[in-house]
Structure 1
Amino acid sequence: MLMLGTDSHTPNAGGLGMLAIGVGGADAVDAMTGTPWELKAPQVTGIHLSGHLSGWATPKDLILHLAGKLTVRGGTGRILEYFGPGVFNQSCTGLATIANMGAEVGATTSTFPYTPRMNAYLKATGRGPVAAAADEAAARGFLSADPGVEYDQVIEINLSELEPTINGPFTPDLATPISKFGTFIKEQGWKDEFSTRVADLARQAKVAGIVAKQNQVPFLCTPGSEQIRATMERDGVTPALEEVGATVLANAFNRNFKSRNDGNRLTMNFLASPTIVTAMTFSGKLSFNPLTDSLTLPSGEAFKFSPPTGQDLPSTGFTAGETSYYPQPTPEPQPNVQVVIKPDSQRLEILEPFTSHFGPSNERGLELPSLKVLMRVRGKCTTDHISAAGPWLKYKGHLTNISENLCMFIQLDVVTFTYLPLPTIVITAVNDEGGDVNKAFDRDQNTSGTIPEVAKAFKARQQPWALVVDENYGEGCALILARSFARIHETNLKKQGVLPLWFADKADYDRIGSGDVLETIGLAETIRGAPNASIKVKVNKLNGEVFEVSTKHTMSSDQLKWLMAGSALNHIRSQMA
């Protein structure tokens, strides 16, 4: 079964053997309008699991270890399919953790064969009929890989050799085994303190008479859902944590990209299993290794944690908690409901249709108009750079206000936000021409300014523009020429009528600068459906030099229609009309 969700945590459902793919909000419109949803056929990486997790190692350590192997781009354009005897030793919730973090390596999604533990989880969550149907499908040879299947790549992991792993800071693919983490901290010259988030360790700590080092950092626990929060409270897990100094927060998922959790780009966040983080909480040190290290009790005695134990599922099942938080399972359409937005609303704004770049004023016909390069951006800009935590999130329904954020370049300083009309911003995009932060050049006027200032100047004089960007990029203008794109971002660009082009030779990135004028060559043939049509970009340098660079794209025939119409919504509306 295929499931689409408008969040990068959607692959979490892979823990139940589903093919669950996170998509951009614009892709959800396809489903709501009955438009076919397209995805470039991904490659499949097989992750063969053998052995058993033991001691302090958890499923979280498996995916942290894999993230270190693959890096944040290693899963791009791929589905991660886990197989082998080690899969069947994992809890359903453990598999969900692994699948959820597949997004951190850029994977399209992650999936597993159906296992008996999935059956148990479905029954424990009140979905017995689904479990029965899954059992029947599995008995007929479905819900697992075909015999003799071949993968594009195979990665071997022996779970018996896996040790707890800590990833970070600032990126989820910097993986360090816990046995080497203390040395790593010293080598970097970092403060040996940390910010955090398990009932067995909390009970051990209570018996020993120790509490979390709250005078250094808070011990924070974030349940992943209302069901988990309510079950923790019912089963006494919440008070067990609170008795040793924990604070249980609202339901959330956390990540460790800059600014993601608290809006401060300097906050150092690490990813580790809940058990390791909990143990560290009682020492107050990042270098604490519960596998080997001891704590000193108030009595002066040494105390060493035992490897924690627990159950796969609550013995009495889950409790739903506050059911008013849940949507109706089959809501009835209400077509007569009017959508009313206050004219002076700062959070919501009626979206006017985007205009097509291929208008009557475009003398180049089916080619894009001549585009001025605003900036050559250095480094990666992922989802978590574009939508970091902070007050700007409230303006996502207001295009004018969110444009002040110039999404692709902003990091937020949440501390400075009070009741200003718009938040104070800290733009951290690095201009590759000189290395300045938040500086763009208006070559026509021989001036410079902040990125938003120069972008507004281009817009004011109706100057179409483009960006030249580095790796793992998304968001844009009329054309983005990139070394690589993040999958969801690339689709969002297409939906917004922006042409995403990939450098055929990544070295060409360095040959284009601000003020240069770009012209597409061959886009017309591609739009007309000419086979093997290639799109070149003619670069007109400020110094008079002219040359061409080769590019590639992933636009399908339908997506090219979005480009011509100015956006996917424009095209869908014309088809429905």
Structure 2
Amino acid sequence: MSNSLNPTLQFAGRSVGYVPISAVPNLSRLPFALRVLLENLLRQQAVRGEDTAGQVSDLLARRIGAALNFYPARIYGQDILAKVMLVDMAALRDALAQSGRDPRMVNPAVPVDIIIDHSLQVDVAGTRDASRLNLEMEYHRNSERFAFLRWCSESFDNVRVVPPGKGIMHQIHLEKIADVIRHDPLTNLVYPDTCVGTDSHTPMVNGLGVLGWGVGGIEAEAVMLGKPLSIALPRVIGVEVRGTLNEGVMPTDLVLALTEKLRAFGVVGEFVEFFGPGTAALSLADRGTIANMAPEYGATAVYFPIDSRTIDYLRMTARPAGQIELIEAYAREQQLWRDEATIAPEYDALISFDLASVRPCIAGPKNPEDKVDLTEAAKAFPGHVRQIVNRPLSAKPSPVEGVDYALKDGDIVIAAITSCTNTANPVGMIAAGLVARNARARGLATKPWVKTSLTPGSHVVAAVLERCGLQGDLDALGFHIAGFGCATCNGGSGPLSAPIAEAIESNKLVAVAVLSGNRNFRGRIHPNVQAAYLASPALVVVYAIAGSMTADITTEPLGVGNDGQPVFLKDIWPSTAEVEQISGRAYTSDVFAEKYADLFDGGEMWDRLPRTPSALFGWQPDSTYVRRPPYFEGLAREADKNFDVRGGRALVLLGDSVTTDDISPSGAISLGTPSADFLLSKGVARADFNNYTTRRGNHEIAVRATFANTRLKNLMVPGIEGGFTKLQPEGSVARVFEAAEEYLKRKTPLVIVAGKNYGCGSSRDWAAKGVALVGAKAVIAESFERIHRANLVGMGVLPLQFEAGTSIASLQLDGSETFDISGLDAEFGVQGKARCVVTRRDGTRTEIPLLIRLDTPEDIAYWRHGGILPFVWREYMDNDGPLARTA
């Protein structure tokens, strides 16, 4: 095959070069996502001169697990993780300057787009001024963070920042940022648009034919510095789609059904690719909704090849005509285009999915894959209560001070139309507006104890709802726009009224949230909410009217209409034809062009932020938001060579599906936690705590948040929820951070021991950074979530995996044991073996083998250097840094 540039592709009267893959034998048998990786490898060879022949051979032979070097075209991130990533970059500049090197060497080698969308909190809801007031409060709380990000956009090359209040990153990604096919004017080369993102829902852009996935900020830093992302070739699971959705079924119902099915099938760490005749029935927005949920079923990427639906969407979203012409021409030339004549590739496994099998549903009370048919939701709730608090459902009313209603188990206190998953879908949003219109016309209202909010993913959604006259109906039910950003889904639900919060806590009620989001882990949505359910935007409105999860909304009246007659769900639910007719008429290219014209213009509040560019950032030692991290302090030019663990103690023992929220919470900073104590010691008032998410630029706060989730269940302290453990050998109960501090004083190495799927959830690098800074040398688990495993490696924490059949339960661990791990000092290859001796309090010893989850040669190199940051620093010190990137 030829790797030379082919200059013959014509589009818009221009001739461009590209690296051909269409001549590869049997290319039609290769899944489309792997064709994109193939082009990337061949381009590395043709443009960068790298020897990728062996990797190409591995890919074409489908050698699952083979190490591939992937150079993403760009990085895409949100303000929380991207800020942490750029804090590290600024610290790297400092470290080089202190060593006599030019700090300006440190610049992203690829374009970096950052969307400030994870700082919104719904402090104000249910009023027309909510959006303005919440944005003002967002700036009040976060101006220091925003100023740092603005400094980055002015001081680093290749960094763009979208100011607050513009929308949710993944929706903006689909509607504006993604190119699908990129053109490099310097080389006149075109190639597929690929990316990695600092958010686990980055695969939403896979619905547009862009291959990308979430990575930790630590991995993204390496990519920014010109290094490839080392990946293990995954299996590609083909999902054959048949049929069409039934009347009344929403896109959210579809994605929740797929989440349940794919989680049950087992696609963790794999690529999922959709094909089959039913794919044509899925709009681009439906595809984005499905791909957005990739981390909820564990897939790395969820790819939909480029086709006519892609082109229609690009036209609707006002992409330039020449760009659209390029995309189609390139995709057809490179066999990256799919149509009804396309032969199905050969997949490593197949799943059949009939769209007609999907029924209206919700998912909860704590996992996105816990699908419940809508007809069974009320019946299932008592079992959920028992699952959550180990007691029967109580119908006893609990008075709320100052109002004429009482609360009981199952009452819904938050109903939020939120998250890019669904606000990017025109069908879902128009349906919600029509439900509100129909309910309002019948005289229905939301219950007074429900906090209602609407946080659209882009200004396009707001404009469309106004254009259709539906926003007024949503306002009438309390769903005023509360801001543009990731809110309730990310824990930014804001406070409940004090009397409601007091009634819930004092009576230990199981209060409920219903949201149109993608995450509902315990402790994430709100500290006073123990059960959270994912639902379509339209069902969020319905549940706000019903007011309780104990109500069967499919059979019981939602209320009494203004005519005195009961009103049922069927009376206010719109038809599929009506929804599609209105959405097709309202979502037009002119509204996208208008609303995205000022994407990078933040207005007066943004312009007031400091913006003086400089080589080094001016750290403020008393800042509680942005501090220089300690990763380069005392760093030796040579890496340590002693890795075996002797006399290690377990900091925590954890069960299955421990999330990054459990490890490093993202919600409110509660009184009585180490982070709260630290803020109070710095003179920060409780009202200005903000939340864990926004404070991660300060390592002093973030490390204190490690294992501080108020719902954490540490098996070492049965019966106690929250960030507590036992200090050994004393056996005394202590907060996790304080126990870790004591172990550090004693120079006792720490290990974390856990069950299956450790680190699932958001791609949160502080879930690894915090573990490293509290002194953990290793995490021993039954299995790991992909991103979190990589993040641990990136921080120099060794991921070790039990052999099948070995677990905390089988070993009967209680946390009093010591751990000696050997076999690490010697050289070993990818996925080598280690030996662990567990010594119990009575002196008995158990020896167990462990799999070293260093999956690529790069993993081994990063870990032996103590993580990516020390590795890169040493590379700069020895070789003036990584080589500059080219296309």
TM-score for the superposition, normalised by structure 1:
0.86
Aligned-residue offset at 1:393 = 2.0
- Residue type of the alignment partner of 2:317: T
SS of the aligned residue for 2:806 comes to helix
Aligned-residue offset at 1:431 = 2.2
Alignment of 1:204-243 (within 5 A): 204-206=438-440, 208-243=441-476
Aligned to 1:135: 328
Alignment deviations for residues 493-543 of structure 1 (CA, whole Å, 9 cap, x no partner): 101000011111342423244243323332234xx2458842222223332
Aligned to 1:310: 579
- Residue type of the alignment partner of 2:648: L
1:489 aligns to 2:489 (yes or no): no
Percentage of identical aligned residues: 25
The 1:382/1:323 distance shift into structure 2, 3 A limit, reads farther
The 1:569/1:335 distance shift into structure 2, 3 A limit, reads farther
SS of the aligned residue for 2:230 comes to coil
- Aligned-partner Cα distance in 2 for 1:356–1:157: 55
Aligned to 1:199: 433
Pairing partner for 1:344 from 619, 622, 630: 622
Aligned to 2:863: 563
Alignment deviations for residues 232-257 of structure 1 (CA, whole Å, 9 cap, x no partner): 34554422321343222223442211
Aligned-residue offset at 1:46 = 1.9
Aligned-residue offset at 1:405 = 1.4
8 A contact 1:45–1:155 mirrored in 2: yes
The 1:84/1:142 distance shift into structure 2, 3 A limit, reads same
8 A contact 2:523–2:711 mirrored in 1: no
- Residue type of the alignment partner of 1:574: R
- Aligned-partner Cα distance in 2 for 1:16–1:532: 35
The 1:238/1:530 distance shift into structure 2, 3 A limit, reads closer
- Aligned-partner Cα distance in 2 for 1:522–1:564: 13
Alignment deviations for residues 378-399 of structure 1 (CA, whole Å, 9 cap, x no partner): 3432133333322222320111
Structure 2: gaps of 5 or more residues: 1-191, 385-392, 395-408, 418-431, 490-518, 603-611, 669-690, 760-767, 878-887
Alignment of 1:60-459 (within 5 A): 60-71=252-263, 74-127=266-319, 128-140=321-333, 141-144=335-338, 147-185=343-381, 189=393, 191=409, 193-194=411-412, 195-196=414-415, 197=417, 198-206=432-440, 208-253=441-486, 254=489, 255-264=519-528, 266-286=529-549, 287-289=551-553, 296-303=560-567, 304-308=571-575, 309-311=578-580, 312-313=583-584, 314-317=586-589, 318-319=591-592, 320-321=594-595, 325-326=599-600, 336-353=614-631, 365-385=642-662, 386-390=664-668, 391-406=691-706, 409-411=707-709, 426=710, 428-432=712-716, 434-437=718-721, 438-445=723-730, 447-459=732-744
8 A contact 2:639–2:866 mirrored in 1: no
- Aligned-partner Cα distance in 1 for 2:328–2:596: 31
Aligned to 2:840: 541
- Residue type of the alignment partner of 2:327: A
- Residue type of the alignment partner of 1:263: P
- Aligned-partner Cα distance in 2 for 1:532–1:453: 34
8 A contact 1:518–1:538 mirrored in 2: yes
Aligned to 2:804: 505
- Aligned-partner Cα distance in 2 for 1:214–1:98: 31
8 A contact 1:14–1:99 mirrored in 2: yes
- Aligned-partner Cα distance in 2 for 1:521–1:432: 25
- Residue type of the alignment partner of 1:278: V
8 A contact 1:356–1:564 mirrored in 2: no
8 A contact 1:280–1:288 mirrored in 2: no
8 A contact 1:295–1:302 mirrored in 2: yes
The 1:435/1:214 distance shift into structure 2, 3 A limit, reads closer
SS of the aligned residue for 1:397 comes to coil
- Residue type of the alignment partner of 1:468: V
- Aligned-partner Cα distance in 2 for 1:226–1:367: 54
- Aligned-partner Cα distance in 2 for 1:327–1:539: 58
Aligned to 2:133: none
What is the aligned-residue RMSD (CA, Å)?
Answer: 3.2
Aligned to 2:204: 12
SS of the aligned residue for 2:327 comes to helix
- Aligned-partner Cα distance in 2 for 1:116–1:444: 65
- Aligned-partner Cα distance in 2 for 1:357–1:523: 21
Aligned-residue offset at 1:469 = 1.4
- Aligned-partner Cα distance in 1 for 2:601–2:287: 25
How many pairs were matched up? 552
The 1:449/1:280 distance shift into structure 2, 3 A limit, reads closer
The 1:290/1:131 distance shift into structure 2, 3 A limit, reads farther
SS of the aligned residue for 2:860 comes to helix
SS of the aligned residue for 1:154 comes to strand
- Aligned-partner Cα distance in 1 for 2:360–2:601: 38
Structure 1: gaps of 5 or more residues: 329-333, 412-425
The 1:469/1:221 distance shift into structure 2, 3 A limit, reads same
Deviates more, 1:8-17 or 1:538-547: 538-547
Pairing partner for 1:31 from 223, 228, 235: 223
Alignment deviations for residues 206-257 of structure 1 (CA, whole Å, 9 cap, x no partner): 3x33243141413322212344334434554422321343222223442211
- Aligned-partner Cα distance in 1 for 2:829–2:457: 49
Aligned to 2:67: none
- Aligned-partner Cα distance in 2 for 1:537–1:69: 37
Deviates more, 1:494-503 or 1:103-112: 103-112
- Aligned-partner Cα distance in 1 for 2:249–2:236: 26
- Residue type of the alignment partner of 2:588: T
